[in-house]
A and B are shown apart, each in its own frame.
Chain A
Amino acid sequence: GAGVSQSPRYKVAKRGQDVALRCDPISGHVSLFWYQQALGQGPEFLTYFQNEAQLDKSGLPSDRFFAERPEGSVSTLKIQRTQQEDSAVYLCASSRIWDRGSYEQYFGPGTRLTVT
């Protein structure tokens, strides 16, 4: 019955390091979304999974960003060779299913990534 959880909550990386951010969605939720939120802005869509299938990755800003959800539950967002512009809060959300946006998304607390 727990909500969406994300770990770590805070991550500081030196420029050039690789990072991995984890998302545990609500049990049974088919849909999983990743967003990037810059300070003072709304979340920006990165990618979408339906079960283990990554059906939309149109928001990933570069090929340094990679996401997976191999068993249709936990998801990992990996950023390779981090850059300062990657500093943001990364939000994960899950929902029961995708039906043209007709189900609410439940958001995790986010991971605040700071690249120094």
Chain B
Amino acid sequence: SQQGEEDPQALSIQEGENATMNCSYKTSINNLQWYRQNSGRGLVHLILIRSNEREKHSGRLRVTLDTSKKSSSLLITASRAADTASYFCATDANTGGFKTIFGAGTRLFVKA
């Protein structure tokens, strides 16, 4: 019943390469967030983009949002082995409730 869908489901790249993950959602949103989850640090917030923003940067992260297509992308530049993790997008349902909806995630493996 999750509304977010990430693709690809899994991604394997060499250290130093860029990684791009995509997220699609179904209903209108106020905000979209990206989280990272690995066994060492649990689920950690990376970046938030509001519905009236189109692009946002944070360090090696670049997020874009296209509300007309109901999609977002997360780009990690110059990847490192430490970036190996699962990445999830999360949206508020914008239905007046308080639910945060996560996608199924993209599993990124960065080879040293």
A interface vs B, CB < 8 Å? 31, 33, 35, 40-45, 48, 50, 55-56, 58-59, 91, 93, 98, 100-102, 104-110
Contact = CB atoms under 8 A, between A and B. Distances in A.
B91 A101 contact: yes
A49 B93 CA distance: 16
Contacts of A93: 43
Interface of B: 1-2, 4, 29-31, 33, 35, 42-45, 48, 50, 88, 90-92, 94, 97-105
22 contacts: A33-B98, A41-B105, A42-B2, A42-B105, A43-B43, A43-B88, A44-B1, A44-B2, A58-B97, A98-B98, A100-B30, A100-B31, A100-B92, A101-B29, A101-B91, A102-B30, A102-B31, A105-B100, A107-B43, A108-B42, A109-B42, A110-B42
Contacts of B2: 41-42, 44
A59 B99 contact: yes
A53 to B, nearest CB: 11
Contacts of A98: 98
Interface of B is mostly: strand
Nearest to A46: B99
A112 to B, nearest CB: 12
Nearest to A45: B99
Contacts of A42: 2, 4, 88, 90, 102-105
Nearest to A48: B98
A93 B35 CA distance: 13
